[in-house]
Amino acid sequence: MALVKMKPLLEAAEKENRAVGAFSVGNMEMVMGAVRAAEETNTPIILQIAEKRLLSSPLELMAPMMVSAAQRAKVDIAVHLDHGLTIECVKAALSFGFTSVMMDCSLLPLEGNIEKTKEVAALAAETGATVEAELGVVGGNEGDTAEHKILCTDPAAASRFIRETGIDALAVAIGNAHGNYPVLPELRFDILEEIDRVTDVPLVLHGGTGITDDMFRRAISLGIRKINIATASFDALAKAAKAYGGGVDTPDYFALSAACAEAVYENVKRHILVFNNR
Ligand code: 13P
- Give the separation between CA 122 and CA 174, rounded to whole angstroms: 28
> Which residues are annotated as catalytic?
82
* Any atom of ligand 1 within 6 Å of the Cβ of 143: no
Which domains are seen in the chain, by residue range? 6-275 (3.20.20.70)
Cα separations (Å) of 213 from 134, 218, 223, 275? 23, 9, 16, 9
DSSP 3: B
Tell how far the Cα of 185 is from the centroid of ligand 1, in angstroms: 14
The ligand 1 atom nearest the CA atom of 181: 3
DSSP 100-163: EEEE--TTS-HHHHHHHHHHHHHHHHTTT-EEEEEESB-BB-TTSSPPBPPBPPPHHHHHHHHH
Exposure of 137 in the CB half-sphere (CA atoms within 13 A): 13
Whole-model pTM: value is 0.97
Higher pLDDT pick, 267 / 277: 267
Higher pLDDT pick, 150 / 202: 202
* Any atom of ligand 1 within 6 Å of the Cβ of 80: no
Tell how far the Cα of 179 is from the centroid of ligand 1, in angstroms: 6
Mutation test of ligand 1: which of 209, 235, 274, 275 has the most ligand atoms closer than 8 Å to its C-beta? 209
Q: 209-216: long-range contacts (C-beta < 8 A, 24 or more apart)?
A: 209/178, 209/179, 209/180, 209/181, 209/235, 210/180, 210/181, 210/184, 210/185, 211/176, 211/181, 211/185, 211/187, 212/184, 213/274, 215/187, 216/19, 216/274, 216/275
How many residues appear in the chain?
278
- Give the separation between CA 157 and CA 151, rounded to whole angstroms: 13
Cα separations (Å) of 120 from 4, 153, 227? 19, 20, 21
Q: What is the pLDDT of residues 181-198, one digit of tens each?
A: 999 999 999 999 999 999
Q: What is the pLDDT of residues 218-276, one digit of tens each?
A: 999 999 999 999 999 999 999 999 999 888 899 999 999 999 999 999 999 999 999 99
pLDDT at 148: 78
For residues 35-68, b (16+ Cβ closer than 10 Å) or e, as one string? bbbbeebebbbbbbbbbbbbeebebeebbebbbe
Tell how far the Cα of 203 is from the centroid of ligand 1, in angstroms: 15
For the chain, count helices (H), then strands (E). Answer: 10, 8
* Any atom of ligand 1 within 6 Å of the Cβ of 130: no
Q: Is the pLDDT of residue 145 over 70?
A: no
Q: Whose CA is nearest to atom 8 of ligand 1?
A: 206
Q: For the chain, what is the mean pLDDT?
A: 96
Of 117, 242, 95, 96, nearest to 170 (Cα)? 117
DSSP 52: G
Q: What is the pLDDT of residues 45-60, one digit of tens each?
A: 999 999 999 999 999 9
The ligand 1 atom nearest the CA atom of 232: 4
The ligand 1 atom nearest the CA atom of 178: 3
